[in-house]
Amino acid sequence: MAKVALETKKIMIKEITSRLNNAETLIVTRYKGLSAQDVNELRKELKKIAGEYMVVKDSMAKLALKESSNNRITEFIQGEVGIVMYKNDPGIVSKMIVKFSKDHEPFKIYGGFSSGEILSNQDIFAIASLPSREVLLTKLANVLNSPIQGLAVSLNGIICKLAYALNAVKEKKEKQ
């Protein structure tokens, strides 16, 4: 019986490790005090953006993280935790998790990992306060476009002034 339990734990650790390795962004949370309905609500919200929320015991999480490439978040694992896993832009998932934590008092954010960097809970709140990636890209495009647009307006002004000057010379010659 103990042998079966050990094998089961090994399989579970392998599955957890696989999920952790596939995620680009990991956020460690405390869910204690939330109802099962609240946790399911969070999972549904994360599923909409292709994220995942996994509740795991600390010993299992630490063993899985030892084998994972994201092993630097072990310091955030304290007791039973929930780990948010997301493959894309950390801004979207951070906004969702911060909003959920504000709506559900017992839910706490410990920290996380994204793109090779450890994130404290303050970092996650800061990322959540940033505009979305699309808004930032739009602002960047406007900043890059501004000098070109200014040059085009200036060149157009020079051409218009030349046309006005030539037209004035033509009118002056016609009057003579």
pLDDT in tens, 126-175: 888 888 778 888 888 888 888 888 887 888 888 888 888 888 888 888 88
What's the chain's Rg over C-alpha atoms? 28
Give the global pTM. 0.72
Which of residues 66 and 101 earns the better pLDDT score? 101
Could you report the per-residue pLDDT of 9-64, keeping only the tens digit for each?
888 888 888 888 888 888 989 888 888 899 999 999 989 988 899 988 888 888 88
Contacts of 21 (CB under 8 A, 6+ apart): 68, 69, 70
Q: What percent of the chain has pLDDT over 70?
A: 96
Task: Specify the pLDDT at position 170.
Answer: 84
Could you report the per-residue pLDDT of 36-47, keeping only the tens digit for each?
899 999 999 989
Task: Specify the pLDDT at position 100.
Answer: 92
Task: Specify the pLDDT at position 144.
Answer: 85
Neighbours of 67 (CB within 10 A): 14
Alpha helix (H) ranges present in 68-175?
90-103, 121-129, 133-175
Task: Specify the pLDDT at position 61.
Answer: 82
Residue 176 has pLDDT above 80, yes or no: no
Task: Specify the pLDDT at position 142.
Answer: 85
Tokens read off for 47? 């599923």
Q: What percent of the chain has pLDDT over 90?
A: 7
pLDDT band for 70, please (50, 70, 90 cuts): low
Task: Specify the pLDDT at position 163.
Answer: 82
Report whether 90 contacts 114 (CB < 8 A).
yes
Report whether 88 contacts 40 (CB < 8 A).
no
pLDDT band for 89, please (50, 70, 90 cuts): confident
